[in-house]
Structure 1
């Protein structure tokens, strides 16, 4: 039996048309999409298939759309008798990982991330916060620059994605000033990101407080397999710890590089990105070039992975 890890994409991977081929090919996918539309009270499916892109990109829509798409695909994989030994997700993707591990039901998760997206949008005035990708500096080098930024220029580490690629997050003024300082400190490039807020920074603390109340109303179960948490990059299975880390995740950096390094140490045969896009597959290759990877997002890529998984070793 092959030993695999599943990883699930986060916000930014959404695209109009996502999930439609799987919806048309698998009745179980259609059923889950229909259930999500009913649970949310509007047609997320139509938004995913037809757009407009601006509406799909809104945090409160992008988050449930990406989760629904990934969960529906992983359900098809499970129906094929394929289960991961461990799992993780990038930011929003951590909720999909928790569904895959049995800690959340699909519809609970869809509704939860819809609320999460709204709270994240509302936590800080639109246009006043932003994020930027820093290329070519280490975590320590970036932290040395950011320690001078506070108050109206608050900036934090947001995503530690792979060697040489780290995202910062904070006030618009702070990120602009920090970008200049980071370039002076030797960054190859600092690229502004097209996002609506300062996600995974201290400026999301108010959203985390409100979100904690919603989490208390959601029944989280112990995970059946290890889920590697964004906040710690360590495996977690206990429901109480999962809830605590989900609250912290909103204002803490996503330690995805460390998660991928942990998967490599776990000696998995492949890391499989389940859902829209190939962002995480690219990060895996920057952490461990020779790691076997798959991206499963449509019937063809699904079948290619199944064929590999079921072939004789």
Structure 2
């Protein structure tokens, strides 16, 4: 029987004005967005709805803002009777996936990701780390490149394995630059430096991982109502303890997103619904599997109505 997966975006999908449409037109979404302000004691809604963009994209703001918008949209879909067979989220999006799967209440999740963002900002001094997207090179070849560069001292590693020929590397600035040059020599089509505040999903994030582990330790997780496919190993899990440990490991581990999509396909998922701002994940699904799947993106009232209509047609 065909299955459905809900996918939740990570940092980078945020933009000023996200959530404004649902805030203005849906009482439940408005309540969710305002509850984030109350929980954090911080006017997050103002940044989400009005910006400024520079302030919103700060890691400690972008992460709770994306979680808030994504889970508000999920609750709206749930209200319409649409629920997933599996959930998954890209990096920060894994927290939204866990909220959707009933593992964490929103109030706990939004506090955790706010702290997670702060820890990630503080882990490495500005300008020391970097990330670059490498386009058009096989992951095995790129793995060899990063290992050779890291063998000389500074750390660089695969960080986001997003889709075939689309991999992000992360680590010390000079090592990332050197790996990018070697990747081009090996045949990479392009190497694009990313405008990020730190070397996320690299071993340089260990201080952030240690602090996050302390924050997560007392938080009560529930077993998942539907399986969550994790970033760290692209395997589905439902046990609360496993899901918590994977969140800890995720900070310094690569995001195996291509593998996550392939695993969902193995599990007979034929419908993917991206729930949250932007459509980055929808594009990545299509890069992994061009045919035989239905891909939808829900980010406002209009796209939600269109998606619901299309899903009903697919079912009939």
Shared fold (TM-score, shorter chain, > 0.5)? yes
Paired residue for 1:117? 117
2:143 is matched with 143
Instruction: Report deviation, 1:147.
Output: 1.1
| Secondary structure at the counterpart of residue 124 of structure 2 | coil
Shift of 1:2: 6.6
Comparing 174-183 with 5-14, greater Cα deviation is found at: 174-183
* Pair 1:167-2:168 in alignment: yes
Count of paired positions: 313
Contact 1:200 1:250 in 2 (8 A): yes
1:95-244 aligned within 5 A:
95-150=95-150, 153-244=154-245
CA contact (8 A) 2:137 2:187 kept: yes
With normalisation by structure 1, the TM-score equals 0.98
Q: Deviations over 1:251-298 (max 9, x none)?
A: 000000011111112222310000000100000000111221000001
The counterpart of 2:299, out of the listed 293, 297, 306, is 297
Is there any run of 5+ residues in structure 2 with no aligned partner, and where? none
Aligned to 1:8: 8
Structure 1 CA distance for aligned equivalents of residues 169 and 255 of structure 2: 11
1:18 alignment partner, SS class: coil
Structure 1 residue 178: Cα displacement: 1.0
Deviation at 1:152, TM superposition (A): 5.3
- Measure, in 2, the Cα distance between the counterparts of 1:50 and 1:128: 31
Quick check: 1:40–1:111 contact (8 Å CA) kept in 2?
yes
Q: Tell me the CA shift for residue 218 of structure 1.
A: 1.4
Distance 1:187 1:269 in 2: 31
Deviation at 1:225, TM superposition (A): 0.5
Whether contact under 8 Å (1:152, 1:171) holds in the other structure is no
The CA distance in 1 between the partners of 2:310 and 2:177, in whole Å, is 46
User: Within 5 Å, which residues of 2 pair with 1:42-53?
Assistant: 42-53=42-53
Moved over 6 A (4+): none
CA contact (8 A) 2:229 2:235 kept: yes
SS in 1 for 2:273: strand
Other structure's SS at 1:269 match: strand
Quote how far apart the aligned CAs of 1:164 are: 0.4
* Matched residue, 1:278: 279
Give the Cα–Cα distance (whole angstroms) in 2 for the partners of residues 232 and 21 of structure 1: 36
Hey, what does 1:39 align to over in structure 2?
Answer: 39
Tell me how far 1:148 sits from its aligned partner: 2.0
Task: Give the 5 Å matches for 1:53-68.
Answer: 53-68=53-68
Structure 1 residue 14 displacement after superposition: 0.4
Whether the aligned pair in 1 keeps the contact of 2:9 and 2:280 (CA below 8 Å) is yes
**TM superposition shift of 1:3:** 2.9
Any idea what the Cα deviations from partners look like across 1:171-209, whole Å, max 9, x if unmatched? Answer: 111111111111111111111001010000000111101
Contact kept in structure 1, 2:2 and 2:268, CA below 8 Å: no
Is the Cα–Cα contact under 8 Å of residues 201 and 253 in structure 2 kept in the other structure?
Answer: yes
| Distance in 1 between residues matched to 2:58 and 2:202, nearest whole Å | 19
Q: Is the 8 A contact 1:2 1:309 kept in 2?
A: no
Report the TM-score when normalising by structure 2. Answer: 0.97
